[in-house]
Structure 1
Amino acid sequence: MVDVSQQTVLVVEDSPLFRKMVGEFLHALGVRHLVEASNGRAAIEQLAHSRPDLVCLDLTLPDVSGYDVCEYIRGQSELEGLPVLMISARGTLLDRAQAEEVGADGYLTKPFTQEEFNQQVVRLLARAAELASGGKSDVRTP
């Protein structure tokens, strides 16, 4: 099991209320290092300076879409293996398929419970830790 207290999570969400809720869920899970971005450009700038252990990424952002941010992440060699949890009020099969196509590792539809969120976060952080330690894992279920 991965020690979530040592992990850094980037939360990309334009709604201050929802950003706060996700932050509270992460803190309740034990995550102590939280970085926030209110739009896609701010997220890309943050990712250019430091690598988090997980990105919780809203799909619908005011400037650059979550799809485009995820494509940016997948296009950067220094961000290889960085897990992306896509979060959206849009829950159609097409939205999920597009998220998977751009490389999202998980997908949560708003609203969701803290338990659903925790399961995704723990799964993605554990998978990332396993890959970093040389293990092979192909657990991608948006």
Structure 2
Amino acid sequence: MSAYWLLALIPFLAGLALSVQQGMLAVTERFLRRAARRVEGTVTGQVASREATYAALHPVVRWTDADGIEYERVVPDTVSAHRLREGLRVRLLVMPGAPDTVALDSPDRYRSAVFGMWMGVVLWGGTLTAVLVRIATLLPSSCYRYC
């Protein structure tokens, strides 16, 4: 076996890491959507931040909870933030008793997490399949007599 077999580890491990990370994100999103309260909020502005190599806009949203307390927080959402203008009414997900866990009520994050998870599965599954097929073709034909 040559050293080129080690190159198959790169897409296998990358796909495995991608599917685990995105799967955890999908489970977290699903939990948030089930346990959080849905409230109406108003976009009061946008905050620019620099994530990785690009600038991202995060909406600042004001809402009132069930106890009548008014909150204003930056919502860490970059998927639909460019479409949100000041004064727009949005639906939010807020965990009871934890106003810092606010998120936009949008299925986009869950869908992208599930898509990323399946892309990781395809990557590591495809690599594993290619390696197993290659190993099967390298076996001598005498191994097939007794199977």
TM-score band by shorter chain is under 0.3
Q: Larger Rg: 1 or 2?
A: 2
The structure whose residues are more often strand, as a share, is 2
TM-score calculated relative to the size of structure 2: 0.23
